[in-house]
Copies of this chain bind each other. A is one copy, B any other.
């Protein structure tokens, strides 16, 4: 951003201002709203992580867990960060997002040094079953999308779009490609939002549309993406008594794993 270019929407809307003693002020904008007017959970994790990153020596989030306690409204929020340990390879902090004096999100994150990671590599699962980018479909312009989807260029696996016309696949799988619409590249801080931007995979498991509020989201960042486009797939295998997991896998266009995500969410009938 040193070249005078305006910051990306993500950088602008996750910016935090230090208030001292590990406290930060942020502003939740409507630009990341999902259906129903609530801010996207991955965007809010990004805002919290901006504050955490400012308090820890290590540069890269490796694993982050957020518990969503209560709805976050547009407007001012406070983030409180408490570093808990700094070490040679890993630093850990916990944080809270507060609004109107009450905690809305709890977050714990361990940061490290992605570029200096050293150790054995072995990969057992090279396949991520998502068609090539040019075989995937943009959302038709006549379809009204929630605000958060305007922040991305999203391409849908054609095998996964049936839910939108009342024909879910029954397989609990949602896949496609994603990049930021304004040209920003994904990095560790913004990978959580990539894991929370697609339509819920449960829409391809159930025969009806449900609202899917997240209780808890955990994202492991495994590498820095080398491409702007990311290939992503999300799977829900177990919807039990209204609770479901959604497991996400995100790779860059070169095929490198960049993030794994899992959330515990509710499937609520509208």
Identify the closest chain B residue to A65 (Cβ).
B65
Say how many copies of this protein the assembly contains: 2
Identify the closest chain B residue to A242 (Cβ).
B119
**With contact pairs A108-B106, A216-B63, A241-B118 given, residues A205 and B124 touching in the complex (Cβ less than 8 Å):** yes
Residues of chain B lying within 8 A (CB to CB) of residue A139: none
Does B239 contact A122, Cβ atoms closer than 8 Å? yes
Partner of A205, one of B87, B118, B122: B122
User: Please, what's the 1-or-0 string for A82-118, where 1 marks a CB less than 8 Å from any CB in chain B?
Assistant: 0011010010101010000011001010100000011
**Nearest Cβ in chain B — how far from A50, in angstroms?**
19
**With contact pairs A103-B85, A222-B243 given, residues A216 and B65 touching in the complex (Cβ less than 8 Å):** yes
CA distance A156 to B268 in the complex (A): 39
- Does A164 count as interface, using CB distance less than 8 angstroms? no
- Does A171 count as interface, using CB distance less than 8 angstroms? yes
Residues of chain B lying within 8 A (CB to CB) of residue A123: 237-240
**Nearest Cβ in chain B — how far from A215, in angstroms?**
6
Residues of chain B lying within 8 A (CB to CB) of residue A240: 117, 121, 123, 222-223, 257
Does B243 contact A108, Cβ atoms closer than 8 Å? no
Does B266 contact A119, Cβ atoms closer than 8 Å? yes
Further pairs besides A122-B205, A124-B237: 15, Cβ < 8 Å? A69-B84, A85-B103, A92-B106, A117-B243, A118-B241, A119-B239, A119-B242, A119-B268, A119-B269, A121-B240, A124-B172, A124-B235, A220-B245, A222-B243, A245-B260
Interface residues of A (CB under 8 A from B): 62-63, 65, 67, 69-70, 84-85, 87, 90, 92, 94, 96, 102-103, 106, 108, 110, 117-125, 170-172, 202, 205-206, 208, 210, 215-216, 218, 220, 222-223, 235-243, 245, 247, 257, 260, 262, 264, 266-269
